[in-house]
Amino acid sequence: MSEPLDPAGEAAAVDLAGEARRLDAADALAPLRERFVLDDVTYLDGNSLGALPAHVPARVDDVVRRQWGELRIRSWEESGWWTAPERIGDRIAPLVGAAAGQIVVGDSTSVNVFKALVAAVRMAREDVGDGGEGGGAVRDEILVDATTFPTDGYIAESAARMTGCALRAVTPAEVPGALGDRTAAVLLNHVDYRTGRLHDLPGLTRAVHACGAYAVWDLCHSAGALPVGLDEHGVDLAVGCTYKYLNGGPGSPAYLYVRRDLQPRFDSPLPGWNSHAEPFGMRSAYAPASGAVRGRVGTPDILSLLALEAALDVWDADGVSVAAVRAKSLALTDFFLRCVGAYVPAGRVESVTPAAHDERGSQVALRCDDAGEVMKRLVESGVVGDFRAPDVLRFGFTPLYVGFADVERAARVLARTLG
Amino acid sequence: MSEPLDPAGEAAAVDLAGEARRLDAADALAPLRERFVLDDVTYLDGNSLGALPAHVPARVDDVVRRQWGELRIRSWEESGWWTAPERIGDRIAPLVGAAAGQIVVGDSTSVNVFKALVAAVRMAREDVGDGGEGGGAVRDEILVDATTFPTDGYIAESAARMTGCALRAVTPAEVPGALGDRTAAVLLNHVDYRTGRLHDLPGLTRAVHACGAYAVWDLCHSAGALPVGLDEHGVDLAVGCTYKYLNGGPGSPAYLYVRRDLQPRFDSPLPGWNSHAEPFGMRSAYAPASGAVRGRVGTPDILSLLALEAALDVWDADGVSVAAVRAKSLALTDFFLRCVGAYVPAGRVESVTPAAHDERGSQVALRCDDAGEVMKRLVESGVVGDFRAPDVLRFGFTPLYVGFADVERAARVLARTLG
């Protein structure tokens, strides 16, 4: 497909298209693209819904026809259905820098934010003797990222209301100054869903700990795209979705990380029977399981869980590591910003994604007043990103299947669309 | 397959096998069996996991390959993903006696119990001026069925703790006597998971209302097997799973019913972005949607949701109605009890399922000391029910695909196994 540019941009386009070919030829991850179902659309929306890994349909079909259709309830044991939440959690663990036994998969991100935040407040209060009785501080405030994807804020408000805390919204930069001896928990995003800004997880976690509070990190826009280092940085609790950079499929279940030493103290507000020490004992008294299983709630959603499990196989291919993915991600976003700079008339869009690598996730967000209309026309031209109200064009770069030629084409079509 | 009986039982077996053939020949629902994937196993565990409807695998494959694989994010609109929770809720509605617009599908039963119970307490308090300020009663007690499937009790305990209520466990028979002006909400099961006892939903709901409290009904073991009449009986809130008599597949999402006139007052403890009045407005202030949508939380689980939607097509076949299903269900359980009476030595098992039709769900539970071992051998012999601790053999009868010959064979194999 050829996209006409104005004559001034022609020479730059020839150069950048050539550079894209050279970069793709040198890209060790390029062969992974074959593992996904893609077409001639330039798909830069993997940060909303990851593309379909090519082997997943056959796996899902086996789950439906054989495991459900033929084995029926025997599959709870024989097909490993019952243990899927923690088994698949252990597959996600290395991608976010966690040792095994600390992640369970299940429920939505929103539900997991609720579990994590309420549990965090309870731990903070336990530390000070449940409301100051031990002579310590009263822990009655939750801090939440003021720029968060809205659901985290809504759920934090409910968690605060139900634990008798005040909720205060502050930007991540303001967090260190806002922390105090009343802070119980802080809910933060590793990467901002709108701007793509990467926040300082190690530094903010240290600051939260220094005041005796608990840090809950939302990894939706970082897991699978860049190193997280949950264990290394001592994160307390974390949640994330699996349908973006982990390619688990539409609405695939989210996950919950509870650091191993905190697990015995994890006091869930949703203590469903799957989190019981003896789930088939049918006991009327609740007794929590030990380990990550304690974060489970109800019957796991098997079709979606096992589609996700299959999707994670992509990460077992030779040479795939989070470090390699991160290096390519930065190269892709760097190259996109260069192409946009070369093709798009100055001043027509403004990048709200930080230029510094250590502040950038795996997306580029461009602000322009008519973003909604522009994205509509871009999609019609076969470049799929998404629009985030009120004025942001959002482009996500999944290193497993996006190449440099995609990037160059997207910038070229964007320039024409904006022209 | 032929199962030898002792000579004394031989004549009875010939008679009952003949009667089973006549009953099957006269059964208007018998042709529906062809719509399910079944084999020579006698499957009496549809009250744990419904059998696979034969057309579901192709539908799921289309969701995975075309909707996810080809359309990707366009499917949120073009394939109706975004509206699936309420659309599928409207498919379930007639099966539980609800008009459209009152049910959403999503999350697990446990999570929906939490939403319903917390919302019920909040309504009860609002009625009396939030804790007695209006001069009314203080609503600070939740009643829960003492014989409930454990998860409801565990979640009720959490809901009570987080709303500052006391939790009292009473049997359904004790509920009328336990109700008082402190009762905020009552969580009840329509059919007991263990004994198969059908509780008096109309009468208990009236009693709960008479004291000014709210009734939350768990329909897991009744929806799809017998008439529920949610609207007719003025039920406030209800939840249920979809993988038993609705055949939605392993861990398919549960549903939440909020009676239409209560929807404006439904104050969710899990106000995720999917329940926002303007979910894509990305607003930091929460404003609940109107209608059933208010019961949503996070991103819906599309693969499982759409498998369920396909499974519900079975109910569109000619002549299928909840009334017809109920009539056959009672005929099946009656016949099973007769066959067990004829084949099994007196005293070897004891039915804990009520004999009266208006007290019986769609299962028969037989108590015997060695139930765990007996069920293991039954399954090995091709009769699949399940064991519920400590001493119950549980047999579920799904009228859509279980026939009278299955029933006769199950009782015959049971007699041999117990012999």
pLDDT at B179: 98
Euclidean distance between CA atoms A220 and A143, whole angstroms:
19
Of B292, B314, B336, the residue that ends a domain is: B314
| A-proximal residues of B, 130-149, CB under 8 Å | 146, 149
B36 as an active site residue: the answer is no
The catalytic residue among B140, B200, B218, B406 is: B218
Please, are residues A224 and A192 in contact by the beta-carbon 8 Å criterion? no
Euclidean distance between CA atoms B378 and B385, whole angstroms:
8
Q: Are residues A304 and B300, on separate chains, in Cβ contact within 8 Å?
A: no
pLDDT at A14: 80
pLDDT at B154: 97
pLDDT at A130: 60
Per residue in A96-108, pLDDT tens? 999 999 999 999 9
Please, are residues A172 and A144 in contact by the beta-carbon 8 Å criterion? no
Would the annotation count A151 as a binding residue? Answer: yes
Q: Is residue B120 scored above 80 in pLDDT?
A: yes
Average pLDDT over residues B299-321: 95
- Just list the catalytic residues of A: 149, 218, 243-244, 394
The structure tokens listed for A154 are: 């809504």
| Chain A residues inside the 8 Å CB shell of B114 | 269-270
Chain centroid offset of residue B89 CA: 14
Confidence of residue A2 (pLDDT cuts 50, 70, 90): very low
Q: Is residue B111 domain-shared with residue B195, that is, in the same domain?
A: yes
Please, are residues A218 and A237 in contact by the beta-carbon 8 Å criterion? no
Residue A47 in any domain: the answer is: no
Residue A82: count of CB within 10 angstroms of its CB: 17
Confidence of residue A217 (pLDDT cuts 50, 70, 90): very high
pLDDT at B6: 58
Length of chain B: 419
Closest Cα partner for A298 from B78, B154, B396?
B154
pLDDT at A9: 64
Confidence of residue B56 (pLDDT cuts 50, 70, 90): very high
Please, are residues B152 and B192 in contact by the beta-carbon 8 Å criterion? no
Confidence of residue B134 (pLDDT cuts 50, 70, 90): very low
pLDDT at A319: 80
Confidence of residue A114 (pLDDT cuts 50, 70, 90): very high
Residue B34: count of CB within 10 angstroms of its CB: 9
Length of chain A: 419
Q: Supply the angle between the helices A7-25 and A322-343 in degrees, to the nearest 10.
A: 170
| A-proximal residues of B, 340-369, CB under 8 Å | none
> Which of helix, strand or coil describes residue B243?
coil
Q: Is residue B78 domain-shared with residue B211, that is, in the same domain?
A: yes
Q: Where are the beta strands (DSSP E) in B242-380?
A: 255-258, 350-351, 363-367
Q: Judge whether A372 is closer than 8 Å to chain B, CB to CB.
A: no
Per residue in B202-235, pLDDT tens? 999 999 999 999 999 999 999 999 999 999 999 9
Please, are residues B296 and B274 in contact by the beta-carbon 8 Å criterion? yes
Euclidean distance between CA atoms B203 and B175, whole angstroms:
11
pLDDT at B132: 46
Residue A42 in any domain: the answer is: no
Per residue in A46-88, pLDDT tens? 999 999 999 999 999 999 999 999 999 999 999 999 999 999 9
pLDDT at A135: 54
Please, are residues A285 and A319 in contact by the beta-carbon 8 Å criterion? no
Confidence of residue B1 (pLDDT cuts 50, 70, 90): very low
| Chain B residues inside the 8 Å CB shell of A298 | 107-111, 151, 254
Residue A45 in any domain: the answer is: no
Confidence of residue A375 (pLDDT cuts 50, 70, 90): very high
Q: Judge whether A194 is closer than 8 Å to chain B, CB to CB.
A: yes
DSSP B161-173: HHHT-EEEEE-GG
Q: Judge whether A295 is closer than 8 Å to chain B, CB to CB.
A: no
pLDDT at B136: 58
Average pLDDT over residues B159-166: 98
The structure tokens listed for A51 are: 């593309």
Q: Is residue A65 domain-shared with residue A16, that is, in the same domain?
A: no
Residue B55 in any domain: the answer is: no
Q: In what order do the strands lie in the sheet with A183-189?
A: A103-105, A255-258, A237-240, A214-218, A183-189, A141-145, A166-170
Q: Is residue B359 domain-shared with residue B261, that is, in the same domain?
A: no
Nearest-CA distance A10 → chain B (Å): 32
| Chain A residues inside the 8 Å CB shell of B72 | 43, 45, 49, 51-52, 384
Mutation for B interface: A112, A154, A220, A395, most B CBs within 10 A: A154
pLDDT at B86: 98
Mutation for A interface: B66, B154, B192, B294, most A CBs within 10 A: B154
Nearest-CA distance A1 → chain B (Å): 19
Q: Is residue B159 domain-shared with residue B269, that is, in the same domain?
A: yes
- B186 phi/psi in degrees, rounded to 5: -130, 125
B400: domain CATH number is 3.90.1150.10
pLDDT at B129: 85
Q: Judge whether B280 is closer than 8 Å to chain A, CB to CB.
A: yes
pLDDT at B4: 47
Q: Is residue B252 domain-shared with residue B207, that is, in the same domain?
A: yes
Q: Are residues A300 and B251, on separate chains, in Cβ contact within 8 Å?
A: yes
Q: Is residue A11 domain-shared with residue A91, that is, in the same domain?
A: no
Q: Is residue A70 domain-shared with residue A168, that is, in the same domain?
A: yes
| Nearest CB to B64 within list A52, A70, A276 | A52
Mutation for A interface: B67, B149, B301, B308, most A CBs within 10 A: B301
Q: Are residues A270 and B304, on separate chains, in Cβ contact within 8 Å?
A: no
Burial status of residue A374 (CB atoms within 10 A of its CB: 0-12, 13-18, 19 or more)? buried
Q: Is residue B178 domain-shared with residue B301, that is, in the same domain?
A: yes
Euclidean distance between CA atoms A92 and A105, whole angstroms:
9
Residue B156's H or E segment, with its range, is: helix B150-163
More confident residue, B6 or B118: B118
Euclidean distance between CA atoms A328 and A330, whole angstroms:
5
Residue A49 in any domain: the answer is: no
Nearest-CA distance A58 → chain B (Å): 9
Q: Is residue B242 domain-shared with residue B123, that is, in the same domain?
A: yes
Residue type, B383: V
Average pLDDT over residues B113-120: 98
pLDDT at B14: 80
Q: Which residues contact A227 (CB under 8 A, 6 or more apart)?
A: A97, A322, A323, A326
Q: Is residue A307 domain-shared with residue A376, that is, in the same domain?
A: no
Per residue in A298-330, pLDDT tens? 999 999 999 999 999 999 988 899 999 999 999
Q: Are residues A298 and B110, on separate chains, in Cβ contact within 8 Å?
A: yes
| Chain B residues inside the 8 Å CB shell of A375 | none
Euclidean distance between CA atoms B417 and A99, whole angstroms:
47
Mutation for B interface: A56, A62, A73, A305, most B CBs within 10 A: A73
Per residue in A141-190, pLDDT tens? 999 999 999 999 999 999 999 999 999 999 999 999 999 999 999 999 99
pLDDT at B13: 75
Residue A347 in any domain: the answer is: yes
Residue carrying the six token digits 């419904």: B50
Euclidean distance between CA atoms A267 and A250, whole angstroms:
30
Would the annotation count A401 as a binding residue? Answer: no
The structure tokens listed for A374 are: 């522009």
| Nearest CB to A155 within list B241, B272, B300 | B272
Domain that holds residue B182: 60-314
| A-proximal residues of B, 380-419, CB under 8 Å | 384, 386, 388-389
Would the annotation count A109 as a binding residue? Answer: yes
| Chain B residues inside the 8 Å CB shell of A269 | 114, 158, 162
Residue A132 in any domain: the answer is: yes
B244 as an active site residue: the answer is yes
Q: Are residues B65 and A52, on separate chains, in Cβ contact within 8 Å?
A: yes
Report the percent of chain A where pLDDT is more than 90.
Answer: 91
A301: domain CATH number is 3.40.640.10
Of B266, B286, B314, the residue that ends a domain is: B314
Q: Which residues of B are annotated as a binding site?
A: 109-110, 149-152, 218, 221, 243, 273, 299
The structure tokens listed for A262 are: 């905190």
pLDDT at A12: 76
pLDDT at B293: 98
How far is it between the farthest Cα atoms of chain A? 76
Nearest-CA distance A389 → chain B (Å): 6
* Mean pLDDT of all residues belonging to chain A: 95
Of B314, B344, B365, the residue that ends a domain is: B314
Residue B271: DSSP 8-state = -
> B258: which strand partners?
B237
Q: Is residue B413 domain-shared with residue B367, that is, in the same domain?
A: yes
B394 as an active site residue: the answer is yes
Q: Are residues B48 and A389, on separate chains, in Cβ contact within 8 Å?
A: no
The structure tokens listed for A223 are: 């897991």
Q: Is residue A402 scored above 80 in pLDDT?
A: yes
Would the annotation count A299 as a binding residue? Answer: yes
Q: Are residues B45 and A157, on separate chains, in Cβ contact within 8 Å?
A: no
The structure tokens listed for B314 are: 């079975």
* Mean pLDDT of all residues belonging to chain B: 95
Q: Is residue A197 scored above 60 in pLDDT?
A: yes
> A228: which strand partners?
none
The number of folded domains in chain A is 2
Q: Judge whether A298 is closer than 8 Å to chain B, CB to CB.
A: yes
Q: Judge whether A284 is closer than 8 Å to chain B, CB to CB.
A: yes
Confidence of residue B115 (pLDDT cuts 50, 70, 90): very high
Residue A43 in any domain: the answer is: no
